[in-house]
Amino acid sequence: MNRQEELAVGRRLIGHIDARTTDLADELFRNRTVNYASPERAALERERLFHELPMFMGLSTRLPKPGDYLTEDVAGMPVLMTRGADGQVRAFANICRHRAAPVASGCGNARAFVCPYHGWTYDSAGRLLGVTDKVGFAGLDLAAHGLVPLPCAEKHGMLYVRARAVQPGESATIDIDAALGPMAEDLAALDLASYPLFSTDRVTPRINWKFAVDTFLEGYHIPHLHRKTIGPYFIGNTGLFDEAGLNGRMCVAKTSFDKLRAVPEDERDYLRHVVAIYQLFPNALLIWQLDHVEIWRAFPDRDTPSRCEIEMTIYTPAGTTRPDSYWEKNRDIAIRTVMEEDFPLGERMQIGFESGATEEVIYGRNEPSLVHFHRSIRNALGVAA
Ligand code: FES
Ligand SMILES: [Fe+2]
């Protein structure tokens, strides 16, 4: 966020800390437990959220150099993203036009992609360069059999893709600023392109993908569930929430925040004492962690609403003089807190959702990010409950 916004956030937080208050949603919100468990709801979410909306794929530094590529399964769409020799980021369905094998796997740097099945070769702009038996495929128009392009964009140091092929007459570009709304300027000021990728961890807990997002959207549970890990570092149940279309930003203060009171207001470095959680609808969280960036993304399982794949990545500042052990410690605490406290409890809550014993969960007025997230889901799905 820019300096003016940082000062405004700092002032609002001091107001809440002094008054022992927190930003509030307009009303209590009730959500049906079946929304975390029903196959019909999962199918609708896949179609209207994961295949229709631009998906945040992480920071630009996942593809730092020409020739770099990454592959991912985005809710059932195999995606290949490349940075061409021209520096341009492109995305394709990672599906060979011969018989649908993935042409690339993992990530790396390549001049061309050779399909592992029969050796058809594509370049990083998706063009089919050649087939391996010219007689067998005589007459095939190579120019018409390139990889199927997917809309994608790179802006403010962020990568986005839409996991559905472009239909005739449809635009192949994504307007990231329109997707981020008022949060675009805030994220641009973080200079995200200057944070190289440090680590990637993946887990597949038995929880619905929405619960993985919910985990990050309230600080109410921190003094309770995280009593022994991060609890002592945060001022619990006090925070800010600002919505930005379907997205939102939550800010919570660390206990070290109180040290700032001794500093004249215009010299206060609030950003070193405030964790800002940017909720990038529908499935991603970009967390400003004082001196580095942590990103969580959750993807629904192909087959069951009760499982998801969650990726945590840590990006550290370019040219940092801190040793790797310092960043490893940050990675460790994130793993201990979220993967060993939030998600194991979440797996038991998922059993609760599926038990049918209660029909609803309740999000309090003191959990405005949660309320906004689930309202946004209803809006994006076009459903009333
Ligand atoms: S499936 Fe790719 S070359 Fe045959
Ligand atoms: Fe938590």
Across the chain, which has 385 residues, the per-10-residue mean pLDDT values are 93 95 97 97 97 97 98 96 96 98 98 98 97 95 97 97 91 89 94 97 97 96 93 92 97 94 92 96 96 97 96 96 96 92 96 96 97 98 96
Quote the pTM value. Answer: 0.96
Judge whether 179 lies within some domain.
Answer: no
Residue whose CA is at the smallest distance from ligand 1 atom 3:
118
Of 173, 194, 225, the last residue of a domain is 173
CATH number for position 244? 3.90.380.10
Residues of the domain holding 60: 55-173
The reply to whether 297 and 347 lie within a common domain is yes
The reply to whether 71 and 46 lie within a common domain is no
Number of domains in the chain: 2
Q: Which token pair is 301?
A: 């399982």
Nearest to 41 by CA among 346, 367, 382, 342: 382
Three-class SS state of 59? strand
Judge whether 22 lies within some domain.
Answer: yes
Residue where the block lists tokens 């001794």? 262
Structure confidence at residue 171 (pLDDT): 83
- Cα Rg of the chain (Å, integer): 22
Q: Taking phi first (over 0 means left), then psi (-120 to 50 degrees means alpha), and beta for anything else, what does residue 75 get?
A: left
| 161, 79 contact by CB (below 8 A) | yes
The reply to whether 322 and 226 lie within a common domain is yes
Q: How far is CA 103 from CA 19, 78, 86, in A?
A: 58, 10, 21
| 56, 160 contact by CB (below 8 A) | yes
Of 173, 198, 230, the last residue of a domain is 173
The reply to whether 155 and 253 lie within a common domain is no
The reply to whether 206 and 278 lie within a common domain is yes
The reply to whether 130 and 192 lie within a common domain is no
Judge whether 200 lies within some domain.
Answer: yes
| Strand residues in 258-324 grouped as ranges (E) | 274-280, 284-288, 293-300, 308-315
The reply to whether 154 and 288 lie within a common domain is no
Ligand 1 first shell, C-beta below 6 A = 96, 98-99, 101, 115, 117-120
Q: Which token pair is 296?
A: 């969580």
The reply to whether 188 and 329 lie within a common domain is yes
- Reduced DSSP (H G I as helix, E B as strand, rest coil) percent helix, strand, coil of the chain, to 5: 35, 30, 40
Phi and psi angles of residue 373, each rounded to the nearest 5 degrees, phi first:
-60, -50
Q: Which atom of ligand 1 lies closest to the CA of 99?
A: 1
Judge whether 77 lies within some domain.
Answer: yes
For residue 162, the CA-to-ligand 1 centroid distance in Å is 24
For residue 345, the CA-to-ligand 2 centroid distance in Å is 10
The reply to whether 14 and 107 lie within a common domain is no
Q: Could you tell me which residues come within 8 angstroms of residue 13 by beta carbon, excluding any fewer than 6 positions away?
A: 238, 239, 240, 251, 253, 257, 270, 274
